[in-house]
Chain A
Amino acid sequence: GENVEQHPSTLSVQEGDSAVIKCTYSDSASNYFPWYKQELGKRPQLIIDIRSNVGEKKDQRIAVTLNKTAKHFSLHITETQPEDSAVYFCAALLSGNTPLVFGKGTRLSVIA
């Protein structure tokens, strides 16, 4: 089955700096890669996703890149703000009705 590794497990950045979180997946047949943000005490919410036919996608301060050959994808947050502090999860979807496989999460702290 699919396996997703996520690094780092914790990340602290100064407000205004950029943050990068990286994930690798094992099954080359995976074709959908979402990123979820979970604030303290709340549910995970989708912030951006990318499909295997695209190499990069951007939404304001957030971008995701995908390297299918290397089987890794990354989340980039620019101009970080204190409200970006949360746990971020990457995930990969193999196919059909199989469930998402999540990475173990990255706790991002943005220091004002």
Chain B
Amino acid sequence: DTAVSQTPKYLVTQMGNDKSIKCEQNLGHDTMYWYKQDSKKFLKIMFSYNNKELIINETVPNRFSPKSPDKAHLNLHINSLELGDSAVYFCASSQVKGEQFFGPGTRLTVL
């Protein structure tokens, strides 16, 4: 009965590789998000997406791209991974103006 789930929980990879993180929510929410949390614990919004609109934080490199096959899923694709991409990535979902629920996070380590 997990509300927001992510896979994998840990991801270790080499620089230059391409990787994906999957996110699913079973709450029936309209909007999903991706956040990056760095070593200083700052939570930085990367994308928000609903059926109609993708909002991109302009500081996010275009190597990062969200893909939503349906309303319950928002996957994150990362091309040409760099050392600075190492962080914990959180998926989240919400209804409009409602509580935001976070997934368990994916710890990405780029070697």
Q: How many residues of B contact A (CB 8 A)?
A: 22
Q: Which single member of A96, A97, A99, A105 contacts B41 (CB below 8 Å)?
A: A105
Q: Give the interface of A toward B (CB within 8 A).
A: 31-32, 34, 38, 42-46, 49, 87, 89, 93, 95-102, 104-105, 107
* Chain A hits for B99, CB < 8 A: 34, 46, 49
Cα A96 to Cα B48 in complex, Å, equals 12
Interface of B is mostly: loop
**What are 13 A-B interface contacts by the 8 Å CB criterion?**
A38-B41, A42-B104, A42-B105, A43-B104, A44-B102, A46-B101, A97-B31, A97-B48, A97-B53, A99-B45, A101-B45, A104-B42, A105-B41
Q: Could you tell me if B43 and A97 are in contact, using CB atoms closer than 8 angstroms?
A: no
Cα A101 to Cα B99 in complex, Å, equals 13
* Chain B hits for A45, CB < 8 A: 102
Cα A96 to Cα B97 in complex, Å, equals 6
Cα A63 to Cα B50 in complex, Å, equals 32
The 8 residue pairs across chains A and B that have the minimum distance between CB atoms: A43-B102, A99-B48, A102-B43, A99-B45, A105-B41, A44-B102, A46-B99, A43-B104
Shortest CB-to-CB span from B28 to chain A, Å, is 16
A43 and B48 in contact (CB under 8 A), knowing A49-B99, A99-B55?
A: no
